[in-house]
């Protein structure tokens, strides 16, 4: 798991909302919040893993869902607390693969590829077990994550660009033997450049289903996105829902 002083420390937290501005747009946030609020149910409690600066937690709380977050980065959590309504979101500082909080929840969720911040299969499997321990019977675990983009890799190439935008460049480097990927971010402002490398572990839908099954959860539904488009072989991401059996 990425540490507080590394990839999501103060320097990243200070610009996180700005650098991810497209993900804060209403047409991105609103469908996700509506989907999650429906699953949480009236009077339900939601646990967000990797709550960050509150992109989803704050609007979900405004929908009447009691939200608690787990976040490793104190700098990110401080940005959340400073926002209007942020003081109402409880935050536990810790690694979301293993951190336990009080009570049970009708919903737990991981969005924006955050499951890949856990850089080993063991940590990802631990996350499912931790979530299962927090869910009440009938509760759901939702993950939004990209489908590995390996079809864009021709033989002999391991790099995929994801941003070429003026002074901002980004590319992913894949290691298909270990399912590891590192995102490389370069930004040039007034002739000066900054560089950030963030490691991830990509994970396949069927692999996530097996992790869920080991943790005692079962697949309930899988969609291409938050507005419930069908998931197909051409989908580049998925929103998957696993549930904890009631019996």
pLDDT at site 149? 86
Q: pLDDT per residue over 12-25, tens digit each?
A: 777 766 777 788 89
Among the listed residues 188, 181, 70, 196, the one whose alpha carbon sits nearest the alpha carbon of residue 127 = 70
pLDDT at site 162? 83
Q: pLDDT per residue over 211-239, tens digit each?
A: 999 999 999 999 999 999 999 999 999 99
Taking residues 139-147, report their average pLDDT.
98
- Quick one: three-class SS letters along 124-140? HHHHHHHHHHHEEEEEE
The C-alpha atoms of residue 237 and residue 202 are separated, in whole angstroms, by 12
pLDDT at site 17? 64
Would you say residue 10 has pLDDT above 80? no
Whether residue 41 contacts residue 15, with contact meaning beta carbons closer than 8 Å, is answered with: no
How many beta carbons lie within 10 A of that of residue 28, not counting itself?
Answer: 16
Whether residue 4 contacts residue 10, with contact meaning beta carbons closer than 8 Å, is answered with: no
What band does 39 get if pLDDT is binned at 50, 70 and 90? very high
What band does 1 get if pLDDT is binned at 50, 70 and 90? very low
pLDDT at site 181? 94
Between residues 188 and 10, the one the model is more confident about: 188
Element (H, E) at 201: strand 192-201
pLDDT at site 3? 42
pLDDT at site 2? 42
Strands 180-189 and 192-201: antiparallel
pLDDT at site 196? 84
Token pair of 42 as six digits = 């009236």
């Amino acid at each position: 798991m990425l540490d507080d002083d590394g990839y999501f420390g103060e320097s990243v937290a200070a610009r996180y909302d700005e650098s991810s501005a497209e993900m804060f747009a209403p047409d991105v946030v609103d469908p996700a919040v509506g989907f999650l609020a429906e699953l949480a149910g009236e009077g339900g409690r939601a646990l967000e893993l990797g709550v960050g600066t509150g992109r989803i937690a704050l609007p979900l709380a405004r929908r009447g869902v009691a939200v608690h977050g787990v976040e490793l980065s104190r700098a990110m959590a401080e940005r959340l607390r400073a926002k209007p309504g942020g003081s109402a979101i409880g935050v536990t500082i810790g690694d979301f693969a293993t951190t336990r909080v009080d009570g049970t929840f009708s919903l737990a969720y991981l969005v924006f590829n955050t499951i890949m911040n856990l850089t080993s299969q063991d940590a990802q499997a631990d996350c499912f077990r931790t979530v299962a321990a927090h869910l009440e019977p009938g509760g759901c675990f939702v993950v939004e994550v990209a489908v590995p983009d390996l079809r864009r890799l021709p033989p002999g190439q391991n790099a995929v660009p994801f941003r070429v935008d003026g002074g901002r460049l980004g590319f992913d480097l894949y290691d298909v033997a270990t399912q590891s990927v590192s995102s490389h971010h370069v930004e040039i402002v007034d002739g000066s450049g900054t560089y950030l490398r963030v490691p991830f572990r990509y994970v396949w839908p069927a692999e996530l289903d097996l992790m869920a099954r080991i943790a005692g959860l079962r697949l309930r539904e899988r969609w291409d996105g938050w507005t419930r488009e069908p998931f197909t072989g051409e989908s580049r991401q998925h929103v998957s829902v696993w549930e904890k059996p009631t019996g």
